[in-house]
A and B are shown apart, each in its own frame.
Chain A
Amino acid sequence: MQSTAEKGFIKRLGQLLEPLLVPFLAIFTAVILGGIIIKVVGGDPIAAYKGLVQGAFGSPQALSETAVWSTPYIFAGLAVALGFKGGLFNIGAEGQLAFGAVAAALIGYALPGWLHTSIPPYIHIPLAVGAGVLAGAIWGGIPGALKAYTGGHEVINTIMMNYIALNITSYLLNGPMRDPNPLNLSARTPEIAVSARIPPIFDIPGMRIHWGFVLALLMAVVVWWLLWKTTLGFEIRTVGANPDAAKYAGINVKWIITLSMALSGALAGLAGAIEVTALNYRHELGFSTGYGFDAIAIALLGKNNPFGIILAAILFGAMRNGSTRMQFLTQIPVDIISVIQALILLFVAADAIIRFIYRIRAHEERVVLTRGWGG
C-alpha cells in the first residue's frame, strides 16, 4: 500500500516527533485530570479552560503578559537544564535568582550616586544586568566547586545556599538596601535609575512585554550553540554523561563541573536581573514566587532542550497569566493551575505512567538527569 519512501518519511517524522510525544501527552493528561478536578469541586472545566486560554492569548495585552511571565521561566529553565546536561542538579536557581536581582538592583539605583554622575543607558543597563549575572555565577559556582573539589553533593549544597541567599537578601532589603522613603512599609530597594531600565518593546500603556523576552529567546539559542556546537559544550555533556570516561579522555572534570554550575547560576542570576531591570524596577522581598523551583519542572518538561524549554516556559507562563481571567470568569481558585503543573511534572518525571496509559514503547535513550549520590 505504502511505498518504501513514504514509510521512510513517516518513520523519520515519527523519530522527529518522538521526543515531543511524552511531554505532550503529559500535558494533555494533566489538563484532562485538572478538568475532572474542576468538575468535582463544582466548576465548569470548559468555561475555566476557555477563560485560561482567553487570559493567556486572547488579546495583545494578554499575549504581552504571557511573554512577561515566560521570561524568567525561560532563563531559569535554561539554567537548570544546563546543570542537568553537566550531570548536576541545580536546585539553587531560586537563591541565584534572588542574588542576581539584588545585585542588579544595587547597581541600578546606587551606581550613579557612587560615581556622582548620570550614566548613559547603553552602559548602565549592561552593568546592572552583568552584576546580576556575576552574582548568580558566583552563587552557583560555589556549590559547583564544592562538588568538584570536595565531593560535597550539589543538591544539598544548593538547597542550603538557597537559605543563605534568601536570608541575606532579607537582611539587605530590610537593612542597608531598604528604600528610605518614610512611607515605604515593605522590604524593598529604592527604584533603579531610569538609565538602568530595559525599555518595553512597544511604547503602549499596558503592554509590558520588554526586550528581556527577546533576550531570553536569544539566550536559548546561545545555550543550544554552547552545548552542542562548541568544545566546552561537548565537555560539559561528556562530564554529565560519564565523568570517568571524560577524565580518561583528558577533560578537566573538576573545572568543568565548577564551570557548569557557574554558568547555570549565571543564567538564573540573569533571570533575576531582567525581572528587576525590565519589569519591577526594584527588588522586593517575595517578588519571586518560586521561579527557581518551577524552573526544574520546566527543564524536565522541555527535556533539557533549549527550544523545548522555550515552549515549556511559555506554557507555564500562559497558565500563570491566564489564571487571573479564569478566576474572574468562573471563580475557580488559581491554585488549580499549580495542581495541573504538578500533574504535568509528575507525568514527565514518571513517564512510565504515560507510556503505560498510551502504550508507548520506550526505545528512546534515557535522559540522564543527574548521577547518584557521591557520583
Chain B
Amino acid sequence: MKKLYSLMALVLLASMLLSACGATTPAPAATQAPAPATSAPAATSAPATQPAATQASSGTAPDCTQANVFCVGDVTDVGHVDDKSFNQSTWEGLQKAKADGNADWIQYIETADSKDYAKNIDTFAQAGYKVIVTTGFNLTDPTYAAAKKYPNILFIGVDQFLSKDANHPDWPLPNLVGLVYNEDQSGFLVGALASMMSKSHTIGGVFGTDAVPPVWRYGEGYRAGAAYEDAKNGTKTTVINVYHNDVGFDKTFTDPTWGATTAQSMIDKGADVIFGGGGLTGNGAVDKAAADKVLAIGVDSDQYYTLPEADAYLLTSALKPLTAPVAELIGMAKAGKFPTGGLYFGAAGYAPYHDTASLVPANVDAEMQALLKGLTDGSIKTNVPPVKPAQ
C-alpha cells in the first residue's frame, strides 16, 4: 500500500504542476482542482467551463462566425510556415493583410500529412473563417472540393493553376481564385540582365524538369530575355539551358549535386552567368557558380537571404513574389471585389542586386527598369507559351 500512496502523491503532484503551468494565462485555470489521480491529466484537468482556449501567439481569437469579424486562415503544404519558401511567403501575405487592416484575425495550420488537407481546410471553414488561403499546387484538388462544399467562403489557392477539365467540371467557381504567375516574365528579366552582364556572351541555366510548366516558363523566358537584348545590342549570346528531366519528380528539385556538376560543365564551356531554377537542384548550381566566382541568379524568392554563401556573386533572383499578391487578394475579398475568372496573375519581378550592385552599370539598371515596366504594362511580350508545346 505504501507504494500505491507514494504513486498517488506523485500523480497528484504532477497534476498540480500541470495546472500551475496553466496559471499564468488570464483564465481561471489555477483555481481548478487538480485532476483525479487515476485519470490522464490531458483528458480531465482542462476545465470544460474555461472560455475558449487562450492563444499562445497574439491575443484571443475572436468569434469568427460573426458576420463583422473578418478571419483569414492559411493551410500550409506539408511543412512549416517558417520554411523560407512558399509556406513562409504566403503566411507573410496574411500578416501583411492584417497589418493593412484587411483582416481582423489570421491563423495558420501546418499540414503534417497530405491526407489532412481537407480536414485542415474544414477546421477553418467550420470556425467561420471568411477567407481560406491554401499554399502550393498539391492542394489544388482539396481546395477545389472545399470551394464547392463551402460556397460562402472565399478560397485563394497559391500556385494553383486550374482549368475546366474532367476533374474540375465546374471551374471557374465564383469563390475560388488560383494565384499563378507569368514565370516567363521573371525569367525574361534575369535573362536580359545575364545577357547584358556576360562578357563571354555565354550564359547557363540549370533547371528542374520542364514537365512542370512554371519551370519551363522560367527557362524559356530566360532564353527569350537574352535574345531580346541581343537583338537590341547586336550581340550574340549563347544560352545553355539544361533541364533535369532524367530523374523522377521526387528527385528533380532535390538534387544539388547534379545542379553543381551541371553548372560546372557550363562554366567549363565559358558561361559566366548561371541561373539556378529549381529548388535544391538550382541552389546547387548557384552555390557552385559563386564558389567558382561566377555570377549567379537565384529563383522564386530573393535568394540573397536563403543562400548566404553565394551572396558575393548573386546578381539577382527571378522573383515570384507571393506576399504582396496574397495580401492584395485578401484586400479584394474584404472589399467585396474578389476577382472572377478563376485565375489571378501575380506580378513578375527581379530581386535587388545587393552585393553585386557595383558591378551593374547604370545603363543596364535603367534598361532593367524599362523592361520591368514594359512587361508589366504589356508593351513587351516574352512570346513564351504557357506550357511546353507537344513535340
Contacts and interface: CB of A to CB of B under 8 A. Distances in A.
Interface of A: 27-28, 31-32, 35-36, 39, 42-53, 61, 65, 68, 170-171, 173-175, 181, 183, 185-187, 205-206, 279-280, 284-287, 289, 320, 323-325, 327-334, 357-360
Going nearest first, the 8 A-B pairs with the smallest beta carbon separation are A174-B248, A50-B46, A46-B22, A47-B53, A49-B42, A43-B56, A329-B53, A331-B57
Contacts of A186: 138, 249
Interface in B211-250: 211-212, 247-250
Contacts of A42: 56
B265 to A, nearest CB: 25
A212 to B, nearest CB: 13
Contacts of B358: none
Interface residues of B, number: 59
A334 B108 CA distance: 12
B3 A46 contact: no
Contacts of B248: 170-171, 173-175, 187
Nearest to B39: A28
Nearest to A39: B21
A334 B112 contact: yes
A279 B119 CA distance: 13
Interface in B102-141: 107-110, 112-116, 119-120, 122-124, 127, 137-138
Given A320-B113, A324-B123, A331 B250 contact: no
Nearest to B252: A174
Contact of A279 (B46, B115, B249): B115
A47 B251 CA distance: 40
Given A183-B163, A324-B119, A331-B57, A47 B109 contact: no
Interface in B2-50: 3, 6-7, 10-11, 14, 17-19, 21-22, 24-25, 29, 40-43, 45-46, 50
A185 B159 CA distance: 12
B363 interface: no
A47 B25 contact: yes
Which secondary structure characterizes the binding site on chain A? helix
Nearest to B123: A328
A167 B37 CA distance: 49
Given A31-B40, A46-B29, A287-B115, A187 B249 contact: yes
A347 B125 CA distance: 39
Contacts of A52: 42
Contact of B45 (A46, A68, A359): A46
A192 to B, nearest CB: 15
Given A44-B54, A46-B46, A187-B250, A358 B10 contact: yes
A39 B29 CA distance: 14
Interface string B137-152: 1100000000001000
22 contacts: A27-B40, A44-B21, A44-B22, A44-B54, A46-B18, A46-B21, A46-B46, A47-B46, A48-B56, A50-B46, A183-B163, A185-B211, A185-B249, A187-B249, A279-B115, A286-B78, A324-B112, A324-B116, A331-B107, A331-B108, A332-B56, A357-B10
A285 B250 contact: yes
A50 B55 CA distance: 13
A284 B110 contact: no
B53 A323 contact: no
B381 interface: no
A284 B114 contact: yes
A199 B45 CA distance: 38
A359 B3 contact: yes
Interface in B60-107: 61, 78, 80, 107
